């Protein structure tokens, strides 16, 4: 490799490492998405059992089976992190007990690197379609913004399934292109199936929607006869089923059954659900996908245009995205639980932005629409940054929040994170006082800050917060 390539590669490595030290977490939140996985990892490596009853991580996301408690998350990512922790503990002596912050940093670092991988995959797709019609600066800038202007960046600082899902969706686009160009060669069909199977291992609904969409993409491609189409479908399905079998096997190792425990522990309450109100808040309202990442709204006008990449793959990817979105809107009722934004749709953001960037590049005159798009990207950078403060923040959980609970007033995760950030960095600032006095009111502001500090596992900060509110807002001891 010559020096002209080594220098940018070295600079990129330095940037990624520096960013990791700034953003990757060295602590955990008490939200179930983290603690359920951490409990399994710690129990297996430190205690030698999948039973998480005696884990140092207590989690609400667990299932009771045969008198034992087990984590209820899809197992593949947990097993991979478990392997990493085993190496850290057994070879290097790095454990939660002896090297608390370092252990979290190293366990979360791969997820941050996967987030960075999204940039690389995004860049590769742009190179496929617009390498000759765009500058390298445009492609690099677009690729970086596809990460830092979306909540994929927010969730890359911790452990979860949404960032790997986003990376797999981008990889799937590349592989679908490879499959078409190879005239649906056996190895490419199998790899397409494996990738969608991996998506299923990360997220059931998204994996199911895309497995279905890609299946029709494969069998509906031009062929001499239906026998060829059926053969393609079988080969593709073999790759999908292989990874579904892997998930069942890992489940069986964990608790003696191939069936996922998640289906037992997460049953949405649909009795009181207002479907239109829920859909509005998931897409545009207080946890709105387009509120946090408004640049994705520009997908709708650009779909009216022809642009490089506007092909069968685009139709399949966006159709599967729509299919998965409809399922999430109709089959959930808790806004994703303790989380920043509606987390289930987050992996779709880079895919949507891909087609927006491709369309704008094809337009010679960008105009006002492009200026608005750039402004929307800027807002996305802001929301994604505040999401890194704690992507698993506490707040309103829809049907899971009891009537009269103060969290009914804490519906927007962005405002919640900005409030806590403002209090911690500038407790006496006008912004902090505005949140306490105008946005929430002193009582709700105290209760939320108290809960969020506990959620972030920062109990040591509670006494100081207590004194702050007693001094400034309460003549008597505030109710905890």
Q: Are 125 and 173 in contact (CB under 8 A)?
A: yes
Give 4's Cβ-side CA count (13 Å radius).
0
Question: Residue 345 corresponds to which tokens in the numbers above?
Answer: 């749709």
Distance CA 440, CA 453 (A): 17
Give the pLDDT of residue 9.
Answer: 72
Could you tell me where the DSSP H helices lie in 363-412?
A: 367-387
User: Which residues have a Cβ under 8 Å from the Cβ of 3 and sit 6 or more positions away?
Assistant: none
User: Which residues have a Cβ under 8 Å from the Cβ of 327 and sit 6 or more positions away?
Assistant: 205, 209
Q: Are 457 and 29 in contact (CB under 8 A)?
A: yes
Distance CA 149, CA 410 (A): 24
177-194 pLDDT tens trace? 999 999 999 999 999 999
Q: In tens digits, what is the pLDDT along the chain, a chain of 480 residues?
A: 555 666 677 777 888 889 999 999 999 999 999 999 999 999 999 999 999 999 999 999 999 988 999 999 999 999 999 999 999 999 999 999 999 999 999 999 999 999 999 999 999 999 999 999 999 999 999 999 999 999 999 999 999 999 999 999 999 999 999 999 999 999 999 999 999 999 999 999 999 999 999 999 999 998 888 999 999 999 999 999 999 999 999 999 999 999 988 777 667 777 778 999 999 999 999 999 999 999 999 999 888 888 889 999 999 999 999 999 999 999 999 999 999 999 999 999 999 999 999 999 877 667 888 899 999 999 999 999 999 999 999 999 998 888 889 999 999 999 999 999 999 999 999 999 999 999 999 999 999 999 999 999 999 999 999 999 999 998 754 555
Over the Cα atoms of the chain, what is R_g?
23
Predicted model pTM: 0.95
Q: Are 68 and 53 in contact (CB under 8 A)?
A: yes
User: Which residues have a Cβ under 8 Å from the Cβ of 249 and sit 6 or more positions away?
Assistant: 258
Residue carrying structure tokens 């109709």: 330
User: Which residues have a Cβ under 8 Å from the Cβ of 139 and sit 6 or more positions away?
Assistant: 123, 126, 127, 130, 131
73-94 pLDDT tens trace? 999 999 999 999 999 999 999 9
How far CA 453 is from CA of 58, 397, 457, 462, 473, in Å, comes to: 16, 18, 6, 7, 19
3-class DSSP state of 58: coil
DSSP tag of 407: G
If 0-12 CB within 10 Å is exposed, 13-18 middle and 19+ buried, where does residue 175 land? buried
Q: Are 344 and 205 in contact (CB under 8 A)?
A: yes
What is the DSSP secondary-structure string of 306-373? --TT-SHHHHHHHHHHHHHHHHHHHH--STTSSSSS-GGGTTHHHHHHHHHHHHHHH-S--HHHHHHH
Of 33, 56, 77, which is closest to residue 390 (Cα–Cα)?
33
Which pairs count as long-range contacts for 258-263, CB under 8 Å and 24+ apart, including other chains? 260/72, 260/74, 260/204, 261/63, 261/65, 261/70, 261/71, 261/72, 262/72, 262/73, 262/74, 262/204
Question: Residue 225 corresponds to which tokens in the numbers above?
Answer: 């006869």
Distance CA 119, CA 370 (A): 21
DSSP tag of 305: S
Please report, for the chain, the start and end positions of each structural domain, with discontinuous segments joined by +. Answer: 107-387, 402-472
Q: Are 176 and 213 in contact (CB under 8 A)?
A: no
If 0-12 CB within 10 Å is exposed, 13-18 middle and 19+ buried, where does residue 459 land? exposed
Distance CA 290, CA 353 (A): 12
């Amino acid at each position: 490799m010559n020096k002209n390539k080594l220098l940018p590669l070295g600079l990129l490595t330095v940037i990624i490492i520096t960013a990791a030290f700034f953003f990757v977490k060295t602590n955990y939140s008490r939200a179930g998405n983290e603690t359920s996985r951490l409990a399994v990892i710690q129990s297996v490596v430190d205690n030698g059992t999948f039973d998480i009853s005696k884990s140092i991580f207590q989690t609400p996301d667990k299932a009771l089976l045969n008198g034992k408690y087990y984590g209820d998350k899809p197992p593949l990512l947990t097993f991979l992190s478990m392997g990493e922790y085993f190496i850290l503990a057994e070879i290097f002596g790095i454990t939660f007990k002896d090297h608390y912050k370092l252990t979290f940093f190293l366990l979360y670092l791969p997820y941050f690197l996967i987030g960075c991988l999204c940039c690389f995959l995004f860049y590769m797709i742009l190179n496929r379609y617009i390498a000759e019609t765009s500058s390298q600066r445009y492609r690099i800038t677009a690729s970086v913004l596809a990460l830092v202007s979306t909540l994929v960046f927010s969730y890359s600082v911790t452990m979860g399934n949404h960032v790997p899902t986003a990376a797999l969706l981008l990889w799937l686009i590349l592989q679908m292109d490879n499959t078409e160009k190879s005239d649906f060669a056996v190895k490419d069909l199998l790899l397409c199936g494996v990738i969608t199977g991996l998506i299923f291992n990360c997220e059931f609904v998204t994996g199911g929607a895309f497995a279905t969409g890609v299946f029709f993409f494969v069998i509906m491609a031009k062929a001499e006869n239906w026998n060829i189409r059926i053969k393609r479908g079988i080969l593709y399905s073999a790759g999908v089923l292989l990874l579904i079998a892997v998930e069942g096997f890992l489940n069986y190792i964990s608790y003696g059954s191939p069936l996922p425990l998640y289906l037992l522990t997460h049953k949405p309450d649909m009795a009181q659900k207002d479907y239109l109100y829920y859909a509005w808040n998931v897409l545009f309202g207080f946890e709105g996908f387009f509120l946090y990442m408004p640049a994705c709204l520009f997908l709708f006008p650009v779909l009216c245009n022809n642009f490089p990449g506007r092909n069968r793959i685009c139709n399949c990817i966006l159709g599967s995205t729509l299919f998965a979105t409809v399922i999430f809107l109709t089959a959930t009722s808790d806004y994703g639980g303790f989380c920043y934004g509606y987390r289930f749709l987050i992996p779709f953001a880079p895919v949507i932005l891909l087609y927006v960037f491709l369309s704008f590049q094809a337009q010679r005159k960008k105009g006002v629409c492009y200026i608005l798009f750039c402004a929307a990207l800027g807002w996305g950078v802001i929301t994604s940054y505040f999401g890194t403060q704690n992507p698993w923040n506490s707040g309103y959980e829809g049907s899971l929040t009891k009537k009269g609970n103060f969290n009914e007033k804490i519906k927007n995760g962005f405002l919640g994170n900005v409030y806590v950030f403002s209090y911690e960095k500038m407790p006496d600032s006008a912004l902090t006082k505005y949140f306490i006095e105008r946005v929430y009111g002193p009582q709700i502001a105290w209760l939320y800050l108290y809960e969020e500090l506990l959620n972030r596992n920062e109990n040591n900060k509670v006494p100081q917060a207590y004194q702050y509110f007693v001094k400034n807002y309460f003549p008597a001891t505030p109710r905890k």
